[in-house]
A and B are shown apart, each in its own frame.
Chain A
Amino acid sequence: MDLTYTPEEEDFRARLREWLRGVLPSLPPKPSPDDWPGRRTYDLGWQRMLYDAGYGDVHWGSSPTLRLIFLEETEKAGAPYVGANFVGLLHAGPTIAAEGTEEQRARWLPPILRGEQVWCQGFSEPDAGSDLAALRTRAWRDGDDYVVSGSKIWTSHAEVADWCELLVRTDPDAPKHRGISWLAMPMDTPGITVRPLRTLAGSAEFAEVFLDEVRVPVANRVGDENDGWRVTMVTLSFERGTAFVGEVVACRRVLVELAREARKNGRWDDPVLRRRLGRLNAEFRALWRLTQWNVSEAEASGGVPGVGGSVFKLRYSHARQDLYDTAADVLGPDALDLDRPWVLDRLSSLSYTIAAGTSQIQHTIVAERILGLPRGR
């Protein structure tokens, strides 16, 4: 068991730090959360800077350890996270890299890496949430096209996306997991309607997408027809792998700030609150170690994240909610003021036990795939 990094890894870290010190002061001011075109420009601009500096493909082109260092250092330096590039860099990109043809990789990956195109995700549907394989959006073959009709929901960045990674049902008669295909759909195709959804935090973070006889070329299908479920599982394992590294680093910083605030406003003298902060320190230290453990495991197994991601996601999502509930205890009545720090974070933390597989689904995954319990109902 070794927690020290190799000289090459330390060198990577040092060069990255120096580069960040040089470029971060020249970043434009962050756009407001409701300024979608502004966010698109800002996030793509940051990805372009990463690309020019040789960090464009760090999310799937480098070893898990270098990715860990990259996410740790960018967060510590206060650099932007992936933002609107989330689906391109962490879902669609890795899937195309793993399952696409050479032609498809050449067509779609460079614009993602160069910060030119935004992708969104059309997976969930109003009646297919946790039971994703029950999705009903239909695709019929018509010559060289699929004709797609149906609706998708919880689609982040749909308003400003160029492409959508779309799951459609191509064989309604097959068992539900075996009739699904994965398509890349251009978002400017006629027949697509995007309706923004307002979250409980007040902002329009995602959208509903309605599809009315949208024509998508058959050449845009990644993987075989009706093999989309397997192709999708590759994507989801990436989502539950190292996706939260930066956030754990950020949570540890918030914890230190909370302690400072509690000292300032006198709440620190309450031993119950103080020890709760101490426990959260233990929690996030352990989550960081679990990340290092999972990354080392992925490194040993050739880079594919395992079911350990479910264990991490379960614990982390609850720890994050606990962190911001504790922040509210530190703030007292100020926890009701939306202009105070951490109050909006507390609201958005509520999505963590739901998005990317609810805690209940994650428990089932752990019970069946790790502990070998019989399939539940």
Chain B
Amino acid sequence: MRFQLTDEQRAVRAALRQLLDRRFDREALRAAVEASALDRALWRELGAAGFFALRLPEAEGGVGLGLPEAVLAFEEAGRALLPGPLVATHLAAGEVPGAADGSVVVAAVDGGGVAEWLTEADVVRGDASGAVPLRSVDPLTPLHRVPGARGAADPVAVLLTAAEQLGTAVRVCELAAQHARTREQFGRPIGAFQAVQQLCARTLVRVEVARAAVYAAAVTADPVDIAAARLLADEAAVRGARDCLQVHGGMGFTWEAEVHLHLKRAWVRTQRAGGTTESEELLACDLVAGTG
């Protein structure tokens, strides 16, 4: 057993972080909030870097890597708050022409509820009939309400969403600690106060528990492990963003600080693939099935 990142996995993560630092920095994030369109040039660059074709076999023009590497890539995307139907396009690689190299943007409808990026996408998979646009709580994710019953969730979609949530959790933990180290009140950094330390420490604990669950699920690809990863990653992202906002005080409540964008995106992701209820029920049934 060697449940740690390999050198190759570290390299995959570092390469994507570098690309996103360069192409999607804070200014680009600001611009994306104001513009409604998806950055197609960035999408093609992600394609060229292998983001969508990561798990396609090399014989089919893919990178030939597995779920663990995909999870690391999606963690980075989540950390950078990268907008767009990333999971849907990644899952369409090899099935929808142009998805793998980023020349085509693919959205998906996974049953009733809400669907992301329907208007912007070149291809929509699933039944989008009767879709009605709504005023999205997340300025970086256009949403439609879709009628009908929810179908069974694709476990890989659930796992990659959990990886994005993990990335958000990591980022808000960094932002909270950074702010707590530098913001001064009563003549010292607020991070010297135990009440603030506790908020930050709890955020870090949730990150590490979620990380272990998400990475393990990527290795086993077991649907029950994936459901567990999803619950813990949702918790780490949503509660982490809330606590980060709290640590930022009044600034955390502003449009200008980036904290609210992380929280809103985390909320959007909790609605994907059947919501948390489906995962909780799956984990409960697993106890009765006896594999525990």
Contact = CB atoms under 8 A, between A and B. Distances in A.
A377 B187 CA distance: 13
B292 A1 contact: no
B1 interface: yes
Contacts of A281: 224, 228, 283-284, 286-287, 292
A256 B283 CA distance: 11
Nearest to A363: B201
Interface in B189-224: 189, 191-194, 196-198, 200-202, 204-205, 208-213, 215-216, 218-220, 224
Interface in A324-377: 360, 362-364, 366-368, 370-377
Nearest to A285: B228
A2 B68 CA distance: 10
B244 interface: no
Contacts of A3: 1, 3, 216, 219-220
Question: Among the interface residues B219, B277, B286, B292, which one has the most CB atoms of the partner chain A within 10 A?
Answer: B292
A278 B68 contact: no
A21 interface: no
B178 to A, nearest CB: 9
A73 B259 CA distance: 45
A293 interface: yes
Is chain A's interface secondary structure helix, strand, loop, or mixed overall? helix
Interface string B51-83: 000000000000000001000000000000000
Given A275-B277, A292-B212, A282 B205 contact: no
Contacts of B219: 1-3
B221 to A, nearest CB: 11
Nearest to B9: A1
B208 A367 contact: no
B292 A374 contact: no
B205 A255 contact: no
Contacts of A372: 177, 181
Contact residues on B (Cβ < 8 Å of other chain), bracket: 35 or more
B219 to A, nearest CB: 5
Contacts of A65: 1
B6 interface: yes
B194 A286 contact: no
A273 to B, nearest CB: 9
A228 interface: no
A259 B284 contact: yes
Interface string B253-280: 0000000000000000000000001011
A374 B196 CA distance: 11
Interface in A252-297: 252-253, 255-256, 258-260, 263, 274-275, 277-279, 281-283, 285-287, 289-290, 292-293, 295-297
B227 interface: yes
B290 interface: yes
Nearest to A254: B292
Contacts of B198: 360, 363, 367
A147 B32 CA distance: 72
Is chain B's interface secondary structure helix, strand, loop, or mixed overall? helix
B40 interface: no
B208 A275 contact: no
Question: Among the interface residues A3, A252, A375, which one has the most CB atoms of the partner chain B within 10 A?
Answer: A3
Contacts, number: 177
Contacts of B205: 311, 314-315, 366
B48 interface: no
Contacts of A297: 4
Given A285-B228, A286-B228, A292-B212, A1 B4 contact: yes
A371 B1 contact: no
Nearest to A69: B1
Interface residues of A, number: 55
Nearest to B67: A1
A34 interface: no
A299 B2 contact: yes
A14 to B, nearest CB: 15
Contacts of B211: 293
B231 interface: yes
A4 interface: yes
Nearest to A377: B192
B3 A286 contact: no
Contacts of B4: 1, 293, 296-297, 300
B177 A289 contact: no
A376 B192 contact: yes
Given A285-B213, A373-B180, A2 B292 contact: no
A122 interface: no
Contacts of B164: none
Contacts of A366: 201, 204-205
A368 B177 CA distance: 10
A362 B201 CA distance: 9
A212 interface: no
B232 interface: yes
Contact of B213 (A275, A282, A374, A376): A282
A279 B280 CA distance: 6
Interface string A21-61: 00000000000000000000000000000000000000000
B200 A286 contact: no
B280 A286 contact: no
A342 to B, nearest CB: 15
Interface string A239-253: 000000000000011
Given A278-B285, A362-B201, 6 more contacts: A1-B219, A263-B288, A282-B228, A289-B212, A370-B201, A376-B192
> Which 5 pairs between the two chains have the least Cβ-Cβ distance?
A278-B284, A367-B197, A373-B191, A278-B283, A282-B228
18 contacts: A1-B6, A1-B219, A2-B3, A3-B216, A253-B292, A259-B288, A279-B283, A281-B224, A281-B228, A283-B232, A285-B228, A286-B209, A286-B228, A289-B215, A293-B212, A311-B209, A371-B180, A374-B188
Interface of A: 1-6, 9, 65, 252-253, 255-256, 258-260, 263, 274-275, 277-279, 281-283, 285-287, 289-290, 292-293, 295-297, 299-300, 308, 311, 314-315, 360, 362-364, 366-368, 370-377
